[in-house]
Structure 1
Amino acid sequence: MAITTRTKFTEQLDEVEGLIRRLAEKASADVRACGLAAAGDAGAAEGVVSGRKTEDRLRSAIEDSCLDIMLLQQPLIGDDLRFVTGSFRLVSDLSHIDGMTRDVAFLVGEIPPKAAGKLKDEFARMSEHAATMVEGAIEAFCDSDVERAQKVIEADAVINSLYAESEEKLVRLIRDGKSSAQYLPELLMVAKYFERIGDLAKRVAAWAIFRVTGEHTVSEKPGQEEGTT
């Protein structure tokens, strides 16, 4: 009986990991699609917007599975406890990322291609970097890889830098009289969304460290005092 119970428990853990990987794959694919949408690919934007039901279904399945394990598989200890707890918590970060991609898809639909083209390269670099961070964070969590998680956290500085470059570029264009300010708020908001996605990927990476150490510590901005959740 004990062997059968443990086998069932292992299957439940594997199911949760599989669902998390699927949600992360969707989120990272949508982040990349936003980069294409910002470059004028209407089909990419439509694909992102239409994916809400898939995200909701995966999130619910992960949360329900984690609750079932916590209620029925007692006592949970060590890595098993940290995996289930971390999974339950990080799913909200992944869902938030995917929700932000829909916001970006909507925003770029409101910006004329000529205006969006002013930050085309920056958006492409930010979306690719953010998607790679999401993928790395989930791999780190599933593999209990602290070193990889730390690299993801450190990689957030690149997106912060790209956001600063985007902001400076827009201000410079306006100052030089080469662009109107009409779509400045929308363009900056798109860049800010990518920057925030990087922050959320960093939080997911911190859950990978939590799985190993039991502590979830992440600094939201360079130089900001770290906090533990």
Structure 2
Amino acid sequence: MSPRTVFEHELKELKDNVTTMGLRVEETYAELFLALECRNEEEIYRILKSDRVVNEMERNIESRCLSLIAKQQPVARDLRTITASLKVVTDIERVGDHVSDIAELLIRLNMNPLSSYSGHLEPMVKAAKEMIRAAIEAFVSRNEEAAKDVIESDDIVDDLFNKVKQDLIEYLKKETKNADECIDVLMIAKYLEKIGDHAVNIAEWELFQETGEIGDTRLL
């Protein structure tokens, strides 16, 4: 095989690895809220332990990216792809961390349904899940328009976060003894908002992958 063919094969493997890592985090996210629905605390603990797998995936992809840059000295579009992949796996790993953070809080809340605190939490869970799914898909398929849609959808999650905060204020007026629970629920909402922010980051790295620009700044 020619050097270019070998390089293209390595780039495909890199994309496959990013896809696998993204799918792993998406599945863990879905499993977490299914475990809550089923009140399966044992599954929550399993999810907490599985975060190490995602961390290892991140390290392996980072190593592959740095190796490709060192060996192939890529330029232009290829360099943008590798650079963006380096950044994206950091965001995916952070999503995995936030899933673990939420898992710990759910245990502290004795697996109480989130809807008992705010009717806007379940829509927020679904919206953040869709954002991260769409962002990863946009990145690996190099879909600029889909990436722009993800960025625009962040307003939905932000709006739901504000509604959750308002709901918790009203909840506290009735259940004054449950202040600690409300703080934990607010933190869950905050982690969901952060997951949306990481989805936006991934979408922005897709735009960079195509244009070499982040916002109005040209980088490569």
Do both proteins adopt the same fold according to a TM-score greater than 0.5, normalized to the shorter chain? yes
1:25 partner SS: helix
Assess, with a 3 A threshold, how the Cα gap between structure 1 residues 38 and 70 changes in structure 2: closer, same or farther: same
Assess, with a 3 A threshold, how the Cα gap between structure 1 residues 192 and 227 changes in structure 2: closer, same or farther: farther
2:180 partner SS: coil
Farther off after superposition, 30-39 or 145-154: 30-39
Q: Choose from 75, 83, 86 the match for 1:85.
A: 83
2:129 partner SS: helix
Alignment of 1:13-52 (within 5 A): 13-39=11-37, 40-52=39-51
1:121 Cα deviation after fit: 5.0
How many residue pairs get aligned? The number is: 218
Q: Which residue of 1 aligns with 2:67?
A: 68
The amino acid of 2:159's aligned partner reads S
1:178 Cα deviation after fit: 7.7
1:108 and 1:209 mapped to 2: Cα distance? 35
Quick check: 1:107 aligned with 2:105? yes
Residues 31, 127 of structure 1: 8 Å contact kept: no
2:213 partner SS: coil
Q: Which residue of 2 aligns with 1:133?
A: 131
Higher helix share: 2
The amino acid of 1:56's aligned partner reads N
2:172 and 2:158 mapped to 1: Cα distance? 22
Farther off after superposition, 169-178 or 45-54: 169-178
Show structure 1 runs of 5+ residues with no match. 218-225
2:110 and 2:27 mapped to 1: Cα distance? 24
Alignment TM-score, normalising by the size of structure 2:
0.89
Q: Which residue of 2 aligns with 1:223?
A: none
The amino acid of 1:8's aligned partner reads V
Farther off after superposition, 144-153 or 24-33: 24-33
1:50 Cα deviation after fit: 2.0
Assess, with a 3 A threshold, how the Cα gap between structure 1 residues 34 and 192 changes in structure 2: closer, same or farther: farther
Residues 115, 121 of structure 2: 8 Å contact kept: no
Alignment TM-score, normalising by the size of structure 1:
0.86
Q: Which residue of 2 aligns with 1:97?
A: 95
Quick check: 1:55 aligned with 2:54? yes
The amino acid of 2:142's aligned partner reads S
2:59 partner SS: helix
Q: Which residue of 1 aligns with 2:182?
A: 184
2:43 and 2:72 mapped to 1: Cα distance? 42
Show structure 2 runs of 5+ residues with no match. none
Q: Which residue of 2 aligns with 1:202?
A: 200
1:196 partner SS: helix
2:184 and 2:192 mapped to 1: Cα distance? 13
Give CA-to-partner distance per residue, 1:64-87, whole Å, 9 cap, x none.
11011100002x122211100100
Assess, with a 3 A threshold, how the Cα gap between structure 1 residues 165 and 37 changes in structure 2: closer, same or farther: farther
2:179 partner SS: coil
1:105 and 1:89 mapped to 2: Cα distance? 25
Farther off after superposition, 91-100 or 120-129: 120-129
